[in-house]
Amino acid sequence: MLPDVHKAFILLLILLDGLRMNSLEFETVHWIWDGILYPQLFGLGGIMIAAAIIGLSTGYFGGIGIPCSSPYHWPDLGILYKRRKRPVRVYMDGCFDLMHYGHANALRQAKSLGDVLVVGVVSDEEIVANKGPPVLSMEERLILVRGLKWVDEVIVNAPYDINEKFLNTLFNEYKIDYIIHGDDPCLLPDGTDAYGLAKRAGRYKQIKRTEGVSSTDIVGRILSPLRAADTDMSQNNVAIHQHHSNTEKLQAGKNLPIGPQLSHFLPTSRRIVQFSNGKGPEPGARVVYIDGAFDLFHAGHVEILRSARQLGDFLLVGIYSDQTVSERRGSHPIMHLHERSLSVLGCRYVDEVIIGAPWEVTKDMILSR
Ligand code: CTP
C-alpha cells in the first residue's frame, strides 16, 4: 500500500489535471488538444468519483487491482480521458472585390495555418464607408469566395474593422484561434490598424501578400483600352500601391501603362503545384471537359464549372492561350494565360486544367485522357 503522502499527491495531480481540462474551453489558443470522453470525471465535483475509480483499479482505497508502490507504477492519468486533436480554426476577412489569384493565394496560405478556414466577406456598406464602392456586389463576391477550394465557412457581411465586439464573436461563437491577414498594413480611415486588437490579443498571424496583382492593377487593365482610345498612349510607369480606396483605384488605373504588358505576375511551377489537386481521374471515372477563356474570373464562371462538375466525376478545364483569345475575340484578354489558369485551378469544382487549350477539341485530346 502507498503511504498517505503518495495518495494525497496523486489526488493533487488529479485535481490539477481536472482543472486544466476544464479550462480548455476558454483558452483555445493555448490548448489545441482537447480532453473528451470522460469530462464528468473532472472538475471539482468529479474529483471524488475519479479518485474512487483510481482506488478500484489500483487498490489504493482497498479495491481490487495491482498495488503500486513506486512513482513508476503510478497510474497514467491520460487513461481517464481520451485526447483528440481539436481542429484549429482560422479566420481571414476581406472585400474580395474583383476576386483574383492574389486573394485565392491569401486564402490558400491562411488555410495552411489551420484546419478550418472561416472567411469574413466585408459588407457593401462597410466597403463604401472605408474604401469607396466595390465593383462586385456582395452576392457575386460571396459566390466567388465560396467557390474557392480552401474555404470551409463564410461569415456574410463581416465588418471591415475587427472591433472588440466582433473579436469576441469570433472567439466565442466561431471558436476562432487565429486571425490572419496579408503582410500589408490595413489602416482604418482614422489611421489605426484594423487588426490592432487581434494583434494585442496574441491571436494574429500574417501571410505573405502575393506580388504582381491587386484589384487596382485589374481596374487599370480594364480601363487601359478605353484610355487608349482617347489619349496619346503615353507609357507612364506608376508604382501600384496596395490598399487604395476604390476611388483611388480608378484614378490609379488611369495612370497605368496600356496593354497586356501590365501584368506583373511571374508564373512559377511551384505556384501552379500549390493550386493543383495533384490527382488524376480514378480508373473508370467520367471525365467532363469544358473550355473557355475564363478571363476576369467571375460568379458566372463558378456557376458553370459547378454545373459541369455535376455531369461527371472529374472536371478538366481547357483554358485558351492568350493568342487564341485575341484571335477569336479581337482583343487581348485582361488576365494572361497563367493568371487565368490559377483562378480556374482555385475553384473547388475543378480537378485539372489544360494551360493553353486548343480552340477545337480533337479526337487525340479525348483519347489521350
Ligand atoms: N491579398 C494578398 N495578395 C494580394 C491581394 C490581397 O495576399 N495581391 C490579401 C490581403 O492581404 C487580405 C486578403 O487578401 O488578407 C483580402 O484582401 P482584400 O481586403 O480583398 O483586398 P486588398 O488587400 O485591398 O487587395 P486588392 O487591392 O487586391 O483588392
Please tell me if the CB atom of residue 104 comes closer than 6 angstroms to any atom of ligand 1. no
pTM (predicted TM-score): 0.74
Distance CA 251, CA 254 (A): 5
Ligand 1 within 6 A of CB of 109: no
**Given the CA of residue 218, which atom of ligand 1 is nearest to it?**
28
For 199, the enclosing helix (H) or strand (E) is helix 196-200
Is residue 42 within 8 Å of 77, Cβ to Cβ? no
Question: Could you identify the residue written with the cell 486571425?
Answer: 179
Based on the number of CB atoms within 10 Å of its own CB, is 90 exposed (0-12), middle (13-18) or buried (19 or more)?
buried
Q: Is 106 in the pocket of ligand 1 (CB under 6 A)?
A: yes
What are the beta bridge partners of residue 286?
Answer: none
CB-ligand 1 contact for 209 (6 Å cutoff): yes
Per-residue pLDDT of the chain (369 residues; tens, 9 = 90+): 445 655 555 444 444 444 433 333 223 343 454 433 333 333 433 333 333 333 333 333 333 333 333 443 444 455 555 566 899 999 999 999 999 999 999 999 999 999 999 999 999 999 999 989 999 999 999 999 999 999 999 999 999 999 999 999 999 999 999 999 999 988 888 999 999 999 999 999 999 999 889 998 899 888 877 656 555 444 443 333 344 555 555 555 444 444 444 666 777 899 999 999 999 999 999 999 999 999 999 999 999 999 999 999 999 999 999 999 999 999 899 999 999 999 999 999 999 999 999 999 887 777 765
Q: Backbone phi, then psi, for 287, in 5-degree steps? A: -95, 125
In this structure, the residue with its CA closest to atom 18 of ligand 1 is 94
Closest-lying ligand 1 atom to the alpha carbon of residue 181? 15
Q: Ligand 1 pocket, 220 CB below 6 A?
A: no
Q: Is the CB of 181 under 6 A from ligand 1?
A: yes
